[in-house]
Structure 1
Amino acid sequence: MNAYTLLILAIISEVFGSSMLKATEGFKRFLPTFGVIIGYGLAFYALSLSLNTLPLGLAYAIWAGVGTALTAVVGIIVYKESVDMKKILGFLLIIGGVVLLNVGGGH
């Protein structure tokens, strides 16, 4: 599996784990808690494998930025959280930052 595929797997797993946090109700519900553990475990494992090829700063910036934006989108869609111009601007800034890191020769 190539490094970017592993990074995508890490991002999706982290978004899943983060999204399950709210459903745990303070880790009182077993299945969502198990989802958090599996999500984060797979996320860190896949991220660590991607680092065999990708530079740490680039991989972590992409992982954290895209993961944050996607988790916010899950909050809006699944948990019916509000969306306003500040959130939209935040998404655009995250996407712009990730693009600049990739275009800027991060590896």
Structure 2
Amino acid sequence: HELRPRLCAMKKGPNGYGFNLHSDKSKPGQFIRAVDPDSPAEASGLRAQDRIVEEHLYGPLPEPFTNGEIQKENSREALAETASESPRPTLARSTSSDTSEE
């Protein structure tokens, strides 16, 4: 399956961005563990198991990213600002082999 980038933008809501990260020391990268219903993350198109590949303030994430590692791998990759207090909208880029959504 070919990975396709998705660009997601979100602004921190009253309860945060609405997603959790997960990592595994045996694999490089950061993944979205869960996305809260009706959250900025859900509205932006982030999905559970998306892989973060870039954060708008820092650019592409190094491998391995210092804030954690990967739990699961799949065919989607995502970019998101994860733990910033920045008032600017968060930009997220992800790739997915699922073309039915776009």
- TM score, norm. by length of structure 2: 0.26
More helix by share: 1
Larger radius of gyration: 1
More strand by share: 2
TM-score by length of 1: 0.25
